[in-house]
Amino acid sequence: MVKGKDEKRNPNSEMIRQLRSKLGLTQTQMAQKFQMSTRGWRRYEEGSREPRLSFWQVKTLIKLMNDANLSLDILPDPPSDAGGKNQENLASESPNGD
């Protein structure tokens, strides 16, 4: 099934838009903070693209939220089908990468 142009593929798009609004930033300002194009950020909010953040971008997001006195608790929890697998895999790896 092909999704229509108006059908969102990213279920977090509305939350992304609301978060930007709570931060008091424009789409262009958010794009600059994350070193991406305004068009790319707009696609996150439209739902046609799902965010894939690097570690430094996650750190930027946390800093922006802290500066705006926003709790990290407003961010969504992992999907229930993830079952904590990523956390388990990370915890089982040795610090030396062995």
Domain ranges of the chain: 13-92
| pLDDT value of residue 67 | 96
CATH class of 13-92: mainly alpha
Which candidate, 12, 40, 10, places its Cα nearest to that of 27? 40
Tokens of 18: 């609301």
Question: Structure pTM?
Answer: 0.70
Q: How many residues does the chain have?
A: 98
pLDDT, averaged per 10 consecutive residues of the chain (98 residues), comes to: 56 91 97 96 94 94 96 87 52 52
Instruction: List % helix, strand, coil for the chain (3-state, nearest 5).
Output: 55, 0, 45
- Amino acid identity of residue 97, one-letter, is G
| pLDDT value of residue 89 | 46
Instruction: Map residue 30 onto helix, strand or coil.
Output: helix
Cβ–Cβ contacts within 10 Å for residue 40, how many? 13
